Structure 1
Amino acid sequence: MNRKMKWQMIVPVLLLAALAVAFADPFNTPPIFLSPAEGPIAALTEKSFELDIEVEDIDNDILKVTVENLPAWCHFDPYLMQLYGTPGRSDRGEHHLTIKADDGREVRHRKISLQVSYGHSIQQQLQETMQDVWKTDLPQLRGASAAVVGADGQLSTVTIGHSDAEKREALDASHRFRVASVSKLFTATLILRLAEQGRLGLDDRLADHMQVPGLPFGEEITIRQLLSHTAGVIDHLNHPSFYRGDWKHRKWSERDIYRFAAVRKARFRPGEGYAYSNTGYYLLGKLAEKILGKPLKECFAEEVFQPAGLVQTEYDDYSDRRHRIDSLADNGRGYEYHQSAVGAAGAIISTPSDVARFGHALFHGQLLGERSLKAMQQDLGFEKGGDHYGLGMRLWDDYGIRHIGHTGALMGYRSILMYLPEQDVTVAISTHHSHRRWYNLVNGVLLSVADYYE
C-alpha cells in the first residue's frame, strides 16, 4: 500500500472523530457519583450488609443505574438504589464491583471493592474448630485445651472434654499440663538471655563453664551444639537402659544423669550430625544453674516466667504421688516418675494460656533481641541431615503455613506451641491423653487460625 492510499483511509476517520466532538451535546452534564466513594468497603460474614448508592444528574435526566460483577451473596435494588445481602464464611475475601450510571447520553463508572472479613470472633472460630475435630476425628479424646494470642496480645481460650481420667470434671482454662519438650523452648530462651547478658557465648565450650566427668567429647561440645541437638550426646530419656530398677519411685541426681551419659558412646563427633537429645538439654539446665548460682526453678522464674508475665507456669522439681500439682489435668500417669530425671529438657508445667503468652512475648521481642531470635531460627538440624531445628525451636512449613515453636510428649501428655509469623499469632494446645490422632486436632486448629488471620 502506498503513502497516498494510507492517507486516503486515515483522513475520513479523523474527520469523523472531529465531527463527533463538534456535535457532542455541549449542554449535557454527565452523572455525578455522590456515594459510595472509591476504595474498599468493609463487610462481615454472617452479618447483614447494606450500601446506598447516590448519583446526581443536574440536568434531571432519567438515570439508569446498573452494577456489574455482583457476587452471588450481594444484590442490587434499582428502586432503592441499594446493594444488600449477607455474605457467608465462604465469601470472605475481596470482591470487585463496577457501578454504571447512564443518563442516555453518557455513562459514568464507579469501581468499588467489598472487603469481606469474618464477622465472628477468633474465640468462636477456635471453639467451632475444636468441637468439630473432636466429634469427627477424636471422639474418645479425654480432653484438650487451646489458647490463641493475636498480634494485639488479646487472649482467647477454648477447652473440650474432661480434666480427669474418669471423665467426671469438666476441663477449663485454669487446668495445667506437663508441657514436656515445649520446655526446651523455655530453656533455650533462658540460655540465650544469659548470652545477651554476656554471661556466656553460644560458641563457648560447655567445659569452659562446667565439667561433666567422662562425657564423650566433653571438651569439644559447644553450647550452640547442645541447643541444636548437634552435639552427639546420648538421649537418656529415650534409652531403654535408663528405665531399670525402681525407676518409678526414685529420684535422680545430676551425678546419675552425668554417669549415664559418660558410660555410653557419643552418637557422633560434635557438629557432625543431628540427634535429638534430652540429655543435652538437661546439661543446659545445669549450665544455667552454674552461671546464675541458684536452682533452676529460680532461674526460670526470674529470667523467663516473670518477664513474660506468666502466672500459672512453674518448673516441677518436687511433685510425686504424695506431693501433687495444683490443678494438673489428671490422666492417671501424671506422677509416673520423678521429674528430676527430666530437668530442663521437659519438666515445666503450664496452661496453654501461659504457653501462648510466653510465645507472644518471645516472638515480640520482650524476652530476646532480634539477633537472638534470628539465631534460634537458623535451621542447623537440617544442615546436618536431621530435623528442621534451630536453637530450641522446631521449624515447620505444613500446608504452606510457616510456623515455628516446639512439641512435647511425656507420660501421656501432649503439647505444642506454634507461632505463625505471617499471621503474627501464637497458638498453644495441650492434652492429657496421648491419642493417636492428636495431630488431627493440631492441624485442624493450625489451618483454622491461619485462615482466620489471613
Structure 2
Amino acid sequence: MRKQLIIEKLNEKQKELQFSGNVRVIQNSDSFTCNFGYANLPEKLENKAHTRFGIASGSKIFTAISICQLVEQGKLAFDTKLNDCLAIDFLYFDKNITIHHLLTHTSGVPDYFDEDVMEDFEELWIDRPMYHIRNVKDFLPMFQYEKMIDKVDSAFKYNNTGYILLGLVIEAVSGMIFSEYIQKNIFESAKMADSGYFSLDLLPSNVATGYVDEPEGILKSNVFSIPAKGSPDGGAYVSVEDMECFWEALLNYQLLTKPMTELLLTPQVHEEDDYFYGYGGFMKVREQKVVKFVQMGYDPGVNYHSVHYPHDDLTIIVCSNKSSGAFEMQNVVEQALLEQD
C-alpha cells in the first residue's frame, strides 16, 4: 500500500476542504487511519482514532441486514406483504407492497423527506420539533396518511420512508425495539464496541459534534437539525474502526449465512449508469460483475462514505462531522491505489 503518498495527498485535500473527520484505509490486511479536525470545535478537542461519528443513511445497511436475518429465521420472506406484518392503517398505500419493494426503493410510498420537494432537512422540524422524534413510530404522522407517489414495483427512487417501515417490521416481528435489535444482532455480533443509536441529549463520550456551515464562515451545531435519535433510515454513530469490523464481519459471513450475504450484495434494481441497488446498498457493476460496493450518508453536520472493492481487497471508510468532504477524501485514496475507478 502506498501509505505515505496517500497521507500526503489526504493532508493536501484536508487543507483545501477544511475537512473534519477520520479516514481509514484497509487493503490486504494492512491498514491505517488519518484523523483531521475537531470533534468539539469550541474546546478544540481533536478527532481521534475512536471518535464516534453519525453516518446518516450509511446505517440503512444495518436495517437491511436485520431484515435478512429475520428472513433466515423464517419469520419473514422478501415477498411478504407490508400489510401482513403491521397492524397499522395506511389508508392510501397499495396492498401489494412487499419487503422486497421497501428494501430496493421501488415501493412507491411517499417519502417523508423528498429531496425533489425540499432541499433543507431542517425544514422537516418546523411543524414537528426534532426532539419529539425518538422512536420509529414517531415518524408515522409524517407519511401515514399521504398518497402513493408512484406505482408499486416502479423504477428506483431513493426513499427514506421505506426504511422507516422496515424498522417497524423489525420491531413487530422480533418483539424488540429497533435500536436494541441492531445493538444485539449487528453491533455486538461484529464487535463494534463504539457504535450505537444515541440520543443527542444523552450522548456518551468520544462523540463528534456535527457542524453546519452558516453565512460568513460560521459553524453551528446540528443539534436542532436532525432527529433526537437515529432511526431505521439513518442516524447510527460509529467509529471508522468499527466500520472496518462491520465490513469484516459481513464479508466473513458472521452476520448472515454465505447464501444470504451473497443475496444482500447482489444487484436488484438499476439506479443509473453503471450503478445498481441491492438489498445492501449501492454497487457499481461492470461486465455483469460488482466491482465496488458503496455506502454513503448525508445529514446537516454529517457526511459519510465507504467503499469496498472486492477484487482489490480494498476498503475505504470516511466519517465527517461536517456536511461535506467525505467523498473527496475517499476519492484521493481511490486515485492513489487504483488505476481506474
Matched, 1:365 2:253: yes
Determine helix, strand or coil for the equivalent of 2:237.
strand
8 Å CA contact 1:360, 1:425 repeated in 2: no
Instruction: State the partner residue of 2:215.
Output: none
The structure 2 residue matched to 1:230, chosen from 106, 126, 129, is 106
Determine helix, strand or coil for the equivalent of 1:407.
strand
Q: CA deviation at 1:311?
A: 0.6
Instruction: State the partner residue of 2:216.
Output: none
Query: Which structure would you say has the larger Rg?
Result: 1
Q: CA deviation at 1:346?
A: 0.5
Matched pairs, number? 324
Instruction: State the partner residue of 1:108.
Output: none
8 Å CA contact 2:274, 2:285 repeated in 1: no
Matched, 1:257 2:139: yes
Determine helix, strand or coil for the equivalent of 1:315.
coil
Structure of higher RCO (CA pairs closer than 8 Å, 6+ residues apart): 2
Instruction: State the partner residue of 1:319.
Output: 200
Q: CA RMSD in A?
A: 3.0
Instruction: Return 377-386 or 411-420, whichever deviates more.
Output: 377-386
Matched, 1:147 2:9: no
Matched, 1:382 2:270: yes
Q: CA deviation at 1:429?
A: 0.5
Q: CA deviation at 1:309?
A: 1.1
Gaps of 5+ in 1: 1-120
Q: CA deviation at 1:376?
A: 2.4
8 Å CA contact 2:23, 2:317 repeated in 1: yes
8 Å CA contact 1:182, 1:346 repeated in 2: yes
Matched, 1:205 2:94: no
Residues 176 and 390 (structure 1), Cα distance of their counterparts in 2 relative to 1, 3 Å cut: same
**What are the Cα deviations for residues 230-275 of structure 1, in whole angstroms up to 9, with x where unaligned?**
1112221346574332524433655542232232221212112221
**What are the Cα deviations for residues 166-186 of structure 1, in whole angstroms up to 9, with x where unaligned?**
472222111111011110111
8 Å CA contact 1:122, 1:156 repeated in 2: no
Determine the C-alpha separation between the residues in 2 that align with 1:159 and 1:384.
33
Matched, 1:433 2:313: no
Q: CA deviation at 1:389?
A: 1.2
Residues 377 and 232 (structure 1), Cα distance of their counterparts in 2 relative to 1, 3 Å cut: same
Q: CA deviation at 1:448?
A: 2.4
Determine helix, strand or coil for the equivalent of 1:282.
helix
Instruction: State the partner residue of 1:94.
Output: none
The structure 1 residue matched to 2:303, chosen from 402, 407, 414, is 414
Determine the C-alpha separation between the residues in 2 that align with 1:383 and 1:440.
22
Determine helix, strand or coil for the equivalent of 1:416.
strand
Determine helix, strand or coil for the equivalent of 2:250.
helix
Matched, 1:172 2:43: no
Determine the C-alpha separation between the residues in 2 that align with 1:366 and 1:255.
30
The structure 2 residue matched to 1:270, chosen from 152, 158, 162, is 152
TM-score by length of 1: 0.64
Q: CA deviation at 1:278?
A: 1.0
Gaps of 5+ in 2: 212-219
Residues 387 and 172 (structure 1), Cα distance of their counterparts in 2 relative to 1, 3 Å cut: same
Determine the C-alpha separation between the residues in 2 that align with 1:283 and 1:385.
28
- Taking the TM superposition and a 5 Å limit, the aligned residue runs for 1:73-92 are none
Instruction: State the partner residue of 2:217.
Output: none
Determine the C-alpha separation between the residues in 2 that align with 1:230 and 1:385.
18
Determine the C-alpha separation between the residues in 1 that align with 2:34 and 2:128.
39
Determine the C-alpha separation between the residues in 1 that align with 2:64 and 2:237.
16
TM-score by length of 2: 0.84
- Taking the TM superposition and a 5 Å limit, the aligned residue runs for 1:55-66 are none
Residues 158 and 383 (structure 1), Cα distance of their counterparts in 2 relative to 1, 3 Å cut: closer
- Code of the residue aligned with 1:391 in structure 2: it is Y
Instruction: State the partner residue of 1:127.
Output: 7
Instruction: State the partner residue of 1:7.
Output: none
Instruction: State the partner residue of 1:309.
Output: 191
Determine helix, strand or coil for the equivalent of 1:344.
coil
Residues 340 and 218 (structure 1), Cα distance of their counterparts in 2 relative to 1, 3 Å cut: farther
Q: CA deviation at 1:394?
A: 0.8
Q: CA deviation at 1:433?
A: 1.4
Q: CA deviation at 1:385?
A: 9.8
Q: CA deviation at 1:128?
A: 2.7
8 Å CA contact 2:24, 2:31 repeated in 1: yes
Residues 215 and 329 (structure 1), Cα distance of their counterparts in 2 relative to 1, 3 Å cut: farther
Percent identity between matched residues is: 24
Determine the C-alpha separation between the residues in 1 that align with 2:27 and 2:303.
23
8 Å CA contact 2:2, 2:336 repeated in 1: no
Residues 427 and 300 (structure 1), Cα distance of their counterparts in 2 relative to 1, 3 Å cut: same
8 Å CA contact 1:407, 1:415 repeated in 2: yes
- Code of the residue aligned with 2:24 in structure 1: it is A
8 Å CA contact 1:230, 1:384 repeated in 2: no
8 Å CA contact 1:212, 1:258 repeated in 2: no
Matched, 1:343 2:231: yes
Instruction: State the partner residue of 2:208.
Output: 329
- Code of the residue aligned with 1:295 in structure 2: it is I
Instruction: State the partner residue of 1:52.
Output: none
Q: CA deviation at 1:380?
A: 2.8
